Structure 1
Amino acid sequence: MSAGLVTGVALLGALAGRAAVPLARHSAHPRPPAARSTGPTLAGATVFGGLAATRGGDPALPAFLAMAAIGLALALVDLDCLRLPDRLVAAAAGAGGAGLVGAALVAGTPGGLLAALTGAAVSFAGYVLLALLPRSRLGFGDVKLAAALGLPLGWLGWPALGLGLLLPHVLHGVVVLGLLAARRVARDTPLPFGPALLTGAWLAVLLA
């Protein structure tokens, strides 16, 4: 994809980031996300620009972008309310699934849909097991989001799926250690895992 198109997609991502704020505020209960200025806009531009730069030739790019747009709102809600609303998770899964169906038709690769569904099933099963472990802090919102993110990761293949399953825990662990070292949180402070899930999946797509 040309630099001009990547820039255009990044600008689209900036708009998606701005739109994520009211969407998150509408979806969050009982407490709406706090007002933000440039953070979501910059995040949207970065996420969309990275996807366009690395996956520009993939017919599944629209599916990745659609899920990323909803993922921005999910991250905002989880950061503020420690929740991942089912409606947003379902919307991300639906948008991603529809986009992948379109990609399979365009590319003539119906087997990619089976790989995507397998990725979702593997992600769901793995996170269910993690959530059921003693003293696990994973919620079933995290499990559902992991399953949704398994769709695009499965589409890209086992290496991407493996990275998508591993990276969120690495990223979350680094953040937790940093916050503990800075004495911003205690060992028993609840922290959102959704942003790590989304960021890990995004990095896995870039690196696949």
Structure 2
Amino acid sequence: MSAAAVLGVAWLGGLVGLVVPPLARRFTDPPARPQPRRGEGGRVWLPVSAAVFGGLAVTRGDDPALPVFLLVAAVGLVLARVDLACLRLPDPLVRTAGLVALTGLTGAALLADESARLVGALAGATVAGVAHVLLALLPGSRLGFGDVKLAAVLGLPLGWLGRDALLVGLVLPHLLHGGLVVGLLVARRVRRDTLLPLGPALLAGAWLAALLG
């Protein structure tokens, strides 16, 4: 992908960042205030989403499924914002991401004659879903079934990219989350019983896995 095209995709990501906060407020419980607090507005999410889109364009620019990755990333940004605000991953947003991923990857597989990669995507969703169900059932686990469903959805694009990307996407989010928890505990910003959102780590880990895969 040319530098101009990458910049165009990153610019599109910036526009997505502007609408992330107002879209996320529709799904927060209790509803967020109409005026976002400092750090919650589009000025924060604009560079984040631009970097997310730009990174995918640079590393996955020749993949026929790039538009699917970008759409899933757009929904994922809204999910991350909601989870940070109220520790929820709303089913309508997770279902939307799953539907976009499944239909988009199916279409990309048909157009590019990549049926094997579609099988890999379905296998990735199954592996990611089962692995996180088992984690959620462990004694003392704080993993919610919203996290399980999101992990299964993210398994679709990761499985499309292959086994290595899927493995990184399964492990890296928990390393990121664990490191954050340890850091916050050391800094005495949270207690051992403080609930922290896992959704942003799942999404960040999947994004990094896509860049590395």
User: TM-score normalized by structure 1?
Assistant: 0.97
Could you tell me how far apart the structure 2 residues matched to 1:63 and 1:98 are? 9
- Selected match of 1:204 from 197, 209, 212: 209
Residues 75-94 of structure 1 mapped to structure 2, 5 A cutoff: 75-94=80-99
Could you tell me how far apart the structure 1 residues matched to 2:9 and 2:106 are? 21
TM-fit CA distance, 1:29: 2.0
Question: Could you tell me whether the CA contact under 8 Å between 1:14 and 1:42 is conserved in 2?
Answer: yes
Q: Which runs of 5+ in 2 are unaligned?
A: none
RMSD of aligned alpha carbons: 1.1
In the alignment, does 2:55 pair up with 1:47?
Answer: no
Helix, strand or coil at the partner of 1:105: helix
In the alignment, does 2:3 pair up with 1:3?
Answer: yes
Alpha-carbon displacement from aligned partner over 1:114-160 (angstroms, at most 9, x marks no partner): 11111000000000000000110100000000000000001011100
Q: Which runs of 5+ in 1 are unaligned?
A: none
AA aligned to 2:190 is V
Could you tell me how far apart the structure 1 residues matched to 2:4 and 2:187 are? 41
AA aligned to 1:171 is L
Who is 1:162 aligned against? Answer: 167
Question: Could you tell me whether the CA contact under 8 Å between 1:71 and 1:92 is conserved in 2?
Answer: yes
Aligned residue pairs total: 208
Who is 1:177 aligned against? Answer: 182
TM-fit CA distance, 1:31: 3.4
AA aligned to 1:107 is A
TM-fit CA distance, 1:177: 1.2
User: TM-score normalized by structure 2?
Assistant: 0.95
Could you tell me how far apart the structure 2 residues matched to 1:95 and 1:32 are? 27
Who is 1:24 aligned against? Answer: 24
Question: Could you tell me whether the CA contact under 8 Å between 1:119 and 1:154 is conserved in 2?
Answer: yes
Helix, strand or coil at the partner of 2:110: helix
Helix, strand or coil at the partner of 2:26: helix
In the alignment, does 2:59 pair up with 1:70?
Answer: no
